[in-house]
């Protein structure tokens, strides 16, 4: 009898926690939907902020689009020398440009991969075996402007570079 009572109390506790948790999740979901519907992002009222975009909360604030980490092998005649991971954030002029960047993400990633992979392999983006971050930034900016237009990209921020020698 004691086991049955203990099991019943445990089951009742789990059910009540699930009910309370789902109530809070439902209540917070409604608030998130209202906030998303309002689309209030500072300088551009009525525009919805695309996913992966930060900033632009107030008029004049910079708007950044996060690019997923890119992992590229550095290949020489002897084979794969190292793996390089680069993380970039792109500063754009407005939310329309951020939308355009997201809409053309396949072209953006293609341009970045072609520019950076080729430069890493040839050595033009490296100082010896180390990645030259300033040259990566310049090459990425040129590649992005080629796809999105000259005036759409304000800046490219290199958030991280990781190298793994093999």
pLDDT of residue 74: 93
**What residues are paired with 163 via a beta bridge?**
84
Residue 81's closest CA among 126, 23, 112? 126
pLDDT of residue 2: 54
CATH number of the domain located at residue range(s) 53-165 in this protein: 3.30.479
For residues 87 and 44, what is the distance between their CA atoms, to the nearest angstrom? 27
Query: Using N-to-C axis directions, what is the helix angle for 95-103 and 133-148, rounded to 10°?
Result: 90
Residue 70's closest CA among 164, 154, 4, 162? 162
Boundaries of every domain in the chain? 1-38, 53-165
Q: Give the H/E segment covering residue 91.
A: strand 79-92
Residue 114's closest CA among 91, 90, 140? 140
Q: Return per-residue pLDDT of the chain as tens, 166 residues.
A: 555 544 444 444 444 444 444 444 444 444 444 444 444 444 445 556 667 788 888 888 999 999 999 999 998 888 899 999 999 999 999 999 999 999 999 999 999 999 999 899 888 999 989 999 999 999 999 999 999 999 999 999 999 999 999 9
CA 137 to chain CA mean position, Å: 17
């Amino acid at each position: 009898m004691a086991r049955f009572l203990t099991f019943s109390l445990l089951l009742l506790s789990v059910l009540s926690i699930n009910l309370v948790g789902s109530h809070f999740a439902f209540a917070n979901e409604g608030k998130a939907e209202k906030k998303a519907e309002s689309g209030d992002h500072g300088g551009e009222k009525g525009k919805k902020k695309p996913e992966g975009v930060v900033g632009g909360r107030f008029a004049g604030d910079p708007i950044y689009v996060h690019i997923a980490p890119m992992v590229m092998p550095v290949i020489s005649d002897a084979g794969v020398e190292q793996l390089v991971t680069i993380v970039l954030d792109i500063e754009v002029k407005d939310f329309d440009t951020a939308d355009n960047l997201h809409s053309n993400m396949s072209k953006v990633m293609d341009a970045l991969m072609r520019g950076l992979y080729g430069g890493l392999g040839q050595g033009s983006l490296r100082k010896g075996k180390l990645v030259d971050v300033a040259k990566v930034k310049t090459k990425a900016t040129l590649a992005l402007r080629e796809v999105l237009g000259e005036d759409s990209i304000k800046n490219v921020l290199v958030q991280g570079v990781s190298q793994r020698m093999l």
